[in-house]
């Protein structure tokens, strides 16, 4: 089996590098691999399976001959180049916000709503990282007992912003440990030893920040349009891994054991729930893993059908790269070629 010709747009970025790593781990046979980035990174050579692949200038490159292209270079780049890739024959799996809410573009979490892929016109959207991990944790419950309302607070690592934010956290931490005032960059406030309840731009009509709006709209598109979602998204001084407190109100009452059983049987969900012995997932411990980890599962004592949980996942892998590669593996029906 020769596999496909794959392309990665944004190959030198944090998500692009994770996509490359996940492809190496999960896809056995590849016919060819092409890497794209801005002119600034063009000409760099990236190692892959024993050889060096030169990064191409996206502005000048052609997508002719590419079967599947993974886009991870930002919304503006996808808006400018993704349709060109489709016109030149590629199926695009886009990791940005460019097309997620377009009615003709399926928004896919493979374990949850892969059936929606039939609507694709060679363009498929990857949901937002914070949405993906929450959906993976609650969808197994929603299938048997519909969710009426979700209240979610996120604690999102700086790697969700990119390499500049990782460097900002490092440098600001060093400054503060040396009793220096931190140099504010990337975010509107210093992130070291701090919390910032703002992710993306403010939307005055709703009072939400855009990251919060994404969680509302994407959850309703993937699961059920009538679910009420109340999000608060917070940037925290963690390098990798997003965490969430999720409160759900179900249509019907269930025992805690029934909820635990659903999560234990769910694909790529790991229940780590032994609070008496400090057994719960943390972002440091789940780094570089593909599963969604759930802990602190308990009844909401204020609601007959309410339940609380703590959800943690690696945002660059489960929340981006792994989701995209799993879409590819299921789309091309090459399960024997994918781990």
Domains in the chain and their CATH numbers? 4-127+320-337 (3.40.50.720), 131-315 (3.30.360.10)
Strands 269-271 and 202-203: unpaired
Q: What is the mean pLDDT of residues 86-111?
A: 96
* Helices 256-265, 129-144: crossing angle, 10 deg rounding: 120
> For this structure, is 129 an active site residue?
yes
Q: Which of 4, 120, 142, 242 is catalytic?
A: 242
Q: Which of 129, 136, 329, 338 is catalytic?
A: 129
Average pLDDT, the chain: 95
- pLDDT tens-digit readout, 137-173: 999 999 999 999 999 999 999 999 999 999 999 999 9
What band does 225 get if pLDDT is binned at 50, 70 and 90?
confident
Q: How much is the pLDDT for 335?
A: 52
Confidence check: pLDDT of 200 > 90: yes
**Four-residue CA torsion sign, 302, 306, 307, 312:** negative
Alpha carbons 96 and 78: distance in angstroms, whole number:
7
Q: What is the mean pLDDT of residues 197-224?
A: 97
| Helix, strand or coil, per DSSP, at residue 336 | helix
H-state helical runs in the chain: 14-26, 75-87, 110-113, 129-144, 163-177, 210-222, 256-265, 322-331
Contacts (Cβ under 8 Å, ≥6 apart) of 186: 158, 161, 164, 165, 168
- pLDDT tens-digit readout, 228-267: 999 999 999 999 999 999 999 999 999 999 999 999 999 9
Confidence check: pLDDT of 270 > 80: yes
Q: How much is the pLDDT for 338?
A: 74
What band does 85 get if pLDDT is binned at 50, 70 and 90?
very high
What band does 333 get if pLDDT is binned at 50, 70 and 90?
confident
Residue 243 pairs with which residues in a beta bridge? 155, 312
Alpha carbons 144 and 262: distance in angstroms, whole number:
9
């Amino acid at each position: 089996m020769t596999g496909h010709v794959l392309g990665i747009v944004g190959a030198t970025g944090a998500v692009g590098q994770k996509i490359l790593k996940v492809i190496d781990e999960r896809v056995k046979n590849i016919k060819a691999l092409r890497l794209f980035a801005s002119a600034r990174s063009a000409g760099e050579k990236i190692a892959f399976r024993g050889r060096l692949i030169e990064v191409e200038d996206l502005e000048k490159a052609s997508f002719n001959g590419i079967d599947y292209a993974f886009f991870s270079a930002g919304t503006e780049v996808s808006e400018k180049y993704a349709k060109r890739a489709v016109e030149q024959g590629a199926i695009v799996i886009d990791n940005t916000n460019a097309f997620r809410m377009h009615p003709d573009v399926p928004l896919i979490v493979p374990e949850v709503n892969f059936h929606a892929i039939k609507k694709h016109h060679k363009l498929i959207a990857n949901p937002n990282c914070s949405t993906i991990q929450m959906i993976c944790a609650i969808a197994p419950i929603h299938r048997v007992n519909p969710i009426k309302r979700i209240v979610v607070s996120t604690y999102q690592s700086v790697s969700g912003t990119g390499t500049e934010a990782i460097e900002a956290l490092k440098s600001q931490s060093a400054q503060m440990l040396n009793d220096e005032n931190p140099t504010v960059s990337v975010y509107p406030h210093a992130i070291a030893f701090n919390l910032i309840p703002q992710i993306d731009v403010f939307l005055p009509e709703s009072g939400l920040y855009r990251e919060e709006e994404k969680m509302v709209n994407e959850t309703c598109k993937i699961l059920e349009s009538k679910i009420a979602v109340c999000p608060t998204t917070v940037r925290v001084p963690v390098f990798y891994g997003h965490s969430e407190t999720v409160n759900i109100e179900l249509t019907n009452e269930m025992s805690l054991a029934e909820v635990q059983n659903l999560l234990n049987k769910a694909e790529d969900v790991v229940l780590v729930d032994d609070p008496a012995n400090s057994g719960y997932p943390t972002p440091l411990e789940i780094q570089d893993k593909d599963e969604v980890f759930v802990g602190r599962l308990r009844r909401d004592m204020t609601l007959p059908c309410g339940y609380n949980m703590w959800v943690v996942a690696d945002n660059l892998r489960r929340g981006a790269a792994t989701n995209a590669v799993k879409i590819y593996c299921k789309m091309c029906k090459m399960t024997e070629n994918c781990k």
